[in-house]
Amino acid sequence: MGTVRPGGRTARVREAVLRAAGDLLAEKGFVGLDLAEVGRRAEVGKTTVYRRWGSTTGLVADLLLEMAEGSVSRAETGSLLGDLRANAQLVRRTLTDERQGPLFKAVIAAATCDERTADALHAFYATRIKEWAPCVEQAIRRGEVPEGTDPYEVIRAVSAPLYYRLVASGDPLDEACAERAAVATEAAARAGAYTR
C-alpha cells in the first residue's frame, strides 16, 4: 500500500518541472516554452510532463498558482502609506529580479493571446490583491481614507505604474518610482478617488 507523503516524489517532480518551466520562460519567453525541454531540464520523462500538465498553458497556469501561493505575505506597518510603500517595493523587487522580471513579461505576453494563460494570470493577481486588501480595510477603520473606499482598486492602483514600466514604457523600475506610486495612491485614496 503506497501513500503519497507530503514532499514525496509527486511534490519533487512538480517543483523540478515548475522550476524548469520558469527558467525556460525567463530565458526564451512563452514561444520558447517546450514541454519536452522542460522535462529534460527537470530530469523527468516528457510523458510525465504531458500527462500531468497537458499543454504549455496548463504548465504556466500551475506555475502562476505556485508563485501566488509562495508570494511574500503583506506587510502591516500601521499606516496605509507604509503598507502601500511595502507593496510597491515588493512589486518593484519582483519585477526587477533577474528571473522573475523576464518570467512576468513572458506570461503577460502569452496572456494577450491565450485565454487559459490569461485566466491563470488573472487568478494570480486576484490572489495577490486579496492578500493586500486588508491593509486598506484597516486604513478605513483608522479613518485614514473615506468609508466606501474600494480596497481592491487601491491595491491595483499602487502596482499599475510599475507594471506599465515593465511592459509598456521600459522606463527604469527604481525605488523612486515605487515611492511615487505609493504616495500618489495614498493621496488619491485619502481624497476619495477610490470610493464606490
For residue range 150-172, what is the model confidence (pLDDT) as tens digits? 999 999 999 999 999 998 998 99
DSSP assignment of 127-186 equals: HHHHHHHHHHHHHHHHTSS-TTB-HHHHHHHHHHHHHHIIIII-----HHHHHHHHHHHH
21-24, long-range: CB < 8 A, 24+ apart: 21/59, 21/60, 21/63, 22/63, 22/99, 22/103, 23/99
Read off the pLDDT band of 3 (50, 70, 90): very low
DSSP letter at 196 equals -
Q: Mean pLDDT throughout 4-30?
A: 81
> CA angle 166-171-175, nearest 5°?
85
Asked whether residue 6 carries a pLDDT value surpassing 90, the answer given is: no
CA 124 – CA 118 distance, rounded (Å): 10
Phi, psi angle pair for 67, to nearest 5°: -65, -40
pLDDT at 72: 66
pLDDT at 2: 40
pLDDT at 87: 96
Q: Mean pLDDT throughout 93-120?
A: 86
CA 56 – CA 179 distance, rounded (Å): 36
Asked whether residue 1 carries a pLDDT value surpassing 70, the answer given is: no
Report which of residues 72 and 37 the model is more confident about: 37
Mean pLDDT of the chain: 89
> CA angle 62-64-68, nearest 5°?
115
| First-last CA distance in the chain | 56
CA 30 – CA 44 distance, rounded (Å): 21
Q: Mean pLDDT throughout 66-82?
A: 82
Q: Mean pLDDT throughout 167-186?
A: 95
